[in-house]
Structure 1
Amino acid sequence: MERSVIDRGRRNFLTGRRVSMPERVRPPWSRASSIAAACSGCAACVPACPQHIIALDASGRPALDFSASECSFCGACADACPEPVFDRSVAAFDHAAGIGADCFAGRGVVCQSCGDACPETAIRFRPRLGGPALPELAADRCSGCGACVAACPAQAIAVGARPSEAAHA
């Protein structure tokens, strides 16, 4: 789900134009609705994360940055939070990885970094004639940890909403 905010650039602010902002990836066992309802912005989850992937976004709410590491599902963020933001009875993440057009293999360069990094083996490689094997993501096996995002040298992998047919119960 995308949010819309007023663009505060001079011209767009005066005309009231809105800019669409993509939904940020939130810490495990939390949802945008629980963060909006209960998060006080205390940032206790930020230093608690041993992977250092949690930071506060522009609105002062916790968001994940998978560019350097992945989520290990240790639960330290949930343990540190004094508010009822985290619910361990739901799936850790409601997102999955997606492989974009900038993937090296799609451009003829041999690379299997994402598959090597995936702890769930959700990324497999389909051989093809005349070029390197192409990655295929099984969204139903993807835990959303972000290991492949951090490992991709082309920055071709991003996390997004999990396809409805692959949603976890």
Structure 2
Amino acid sequence: MGTARTISRRALLFGRDGGERARLPQVLRPPWALGGVAFVDACTGCVACVDACPEQVLVLRKGKAVFDPERGECTFCHACVDACAPGALRDGDGIPPWRLRALVDDACLGARGVVCASCRDACPQSAILVPPAARGGARIDADACSGCGACVAVCPTHAIRLHVPEETAA
């Protein structure tokens, strides 16, 4: 067991736990982005998808369009796909927008005994389960999660991030 660390209530609520854990910025491609290097090759940085996004969750970073869940949720409206003349974003029949799913880490307030349900309340798919009375951290139902990012920005401790789950062998 590690050494217990005392932190202030304010630091806890704002996700500053005094630890060395630093978040590396994730680069998340827009929905329906081509796979592998095909997206990097096809995206010209024209910002048409960024301008078309009604939720304003797409931004240009290093000359390529990326999804930034800290800005809000993707509603999968297809406006970015419709605006993408270079063809870096393509929505085919039944193709999911991406494989992203939410992941909750140990900075979750519920895991620390503080009542919080911000992520659950923001989730349009009801994919987040929060035990009552702060009896544990939030859990994600990966089958129900669309990876929209609605839960990311509302988390007061930044305990939620989006990731691509590992493939499991059948």
TM range (shorter): 0.7 to 0.9
1:125 offset after TM fit, Å?
2.1
1:54 to 2:54 alignment: no
Task: Give, as a single letter, the amino acid of the residue that structure 2 aligns with 1:66.
Answer: P
TM-score, length-scaled by structure 1: 0.76
Task: Give, as a single letter, the amino acid of the residue that structure 1 aligns with 2:75.
Answer: S
Task: Tell me the secondary structure at the aligned position of residue 97 of structure 1.
Answer: strand
1:127 offset after TM fit, Å?
4.7
1:22 offset after TM fit, Å?
6.6
Structure 1 residues 137, 101: CA separation in 2 closer, same or farther (over 3 Å shift)? same
Residue in 2 that maps onto 1:161:
164
TM-score, length-scaled by structure 2: 0.76
Task: Give, as a single letter, the amino acid of the residue that structure 1 aligns with 2:65.
Answer: P
| 2:109–2:137 contact (8 Å) kept in structure 1 | no
Q: Superposed, which structure 2 residues align to 1:86-165 within 5 Å?
A: 86-89=89-92, 90-127=95-132, 131-165=134-168
Equivalent residue pairs, number: 142
Residue in 2 that maps onto 1:13:
none
| 1:24–1:64 contact (8 Å) kept in structure 2 | yes
Instruction: Give the root-mean-square deviation of aligned CA atoms.
Output: 1.9
Distance 1:137 1:109 in 2: 18
1:154 offset after TM fit, Å?
1.2
| 2:122–2:154 contact (8 Å) kept in structure 1 | yes
Residue in 1 that maps onto 2:47:
43
1:78 to 2:81 alignment: yes
Give structure 2 stretches of 5+ with no counterpart: 1-23
* Identical-pair percentage: 41
Distance 1:28 1:149 in 2: 16
| 1:70–1:147 contact (8 Å) kept in structure 2 | yes
Distance 2:158 2:51 in 1: 26
Task: Tell me the secondary structure at the aligned position of residue 81 of structure 2.
Answer: helix
Residue in 1 that maps onto 2:6:
none
Q: Deviation digits for residues 27-60 of structure 1, max 9, x if unmatched? A: 11114523123111111111111111111112x1
Q: Deviation digits for residues 94-118 of structure 1, max 9, x if unmatched? A: 2111001111111111001111111
| 1:110–1:133 contact (8 Å) kept in structure 2 | no
